[in-house]
Structure formats: structure tokens, C-alpha cells
Copies of this chain bind each other. A is one copy, B any other.
């Protein structure tokens, strides 16, 4: 699956014992502006899969590049066997809106209510309605909008198996194309 760029997201859930769990996922993206929705796709064998089906909720916490080691660990361990939050030294925070935890240390959080489930093949696609977004003040620009350079999210390169940060701005939407066709 040579998808460029692919995100490095952390999916937060509660399992059947109310234990908070969090898993790295690179299969996902935005899918609707109104209501605001995103997709995340998981294999049924994952511990997170059963949790999303049962609770009909999940969170997406976006790790900044400085958390790359924790994010990578959260992609290779299973919450079935380990308390992944504890091992990674991260704090599970109970959402006040959906039945799922998020990562307290991360700057961008999306709290999602499951609204569609679609079996695609080895992965099942979940569509979550984003019922709240939390953004730390530290990642907002002067106008109050989140700034991707302050969030410093990661892109996962399946070809080289490396995580990358975000680079410099290369143009402003609606401005950089001013001369095209002129």
C-alpha cells in the first residue's frame, strides 16, 4: 500500500475490562466536512477493533515527531498483553464526550463517535464523526488556527519503513496557482 503521505495516528479505546488502550494506525484520513468525519481502518485481530465495535467510539491523538519512539512502540505491542499507556509513559484521559480515552500529552485530539462500519477485506473501515477537537494553545498561530509546523505530526513511509516530520511550506492555497493558465 504505497500511500503518500500516510499519517501516524494513535487510536484510543477502552477494552472489555475498561482498560485504556492506544494503537498506531497509518490507514486513515478525512472523509467528510459536514458532519466532520474521519476514517480509520483496522484488522479484526487487533485488540482495538473489538473495543471500537463494542463502545462505538474512539479517539485519534496526533503524536508530534518528538514522540516517535512511543508511537512506534504503540504500533508493535498489543493491548491484549500489555498496558501500553503505562509502558509508553503516556497518560490516558477519559473523554467527556465519547466512551474512549485520549493521550494527554499530545497536542491534537479528535474525539469520534462511530457512525459507519464497512468490511473491506483484511481491514475493516470505521467512519467516526468528530464530535470534538482539542488543540493545545501552543500549536495555534496568531489567528488562532492550528499550525502544522507547531503540531509537527509524522508521515509514515511504508517503502523505507521510516517516520518523517513535516517540511517547510511550499505555497498558500488559492495564491500559489495565481499564474497557472495566465
Contact = CB atoms under 8 A, between A and B. Distances in A.
A153 interface: yes
A73 B177 contact: yes
B147 A161 contact: no
State the copy count for this chain: 2
A70 interface: yes
Interface residues of A, number: 83
B145 A160 contact: yes
B32 A3 contact: no
Interface of A: 1-7, 26-39, 41, 62, 65, 68-73, 75-76, 82, 87-88, 108, 110, 115-116, 118, 120-123, 125, 127, 130, 133, 135, 141, 145-149, 151, 153-157, 159-177, 179-181
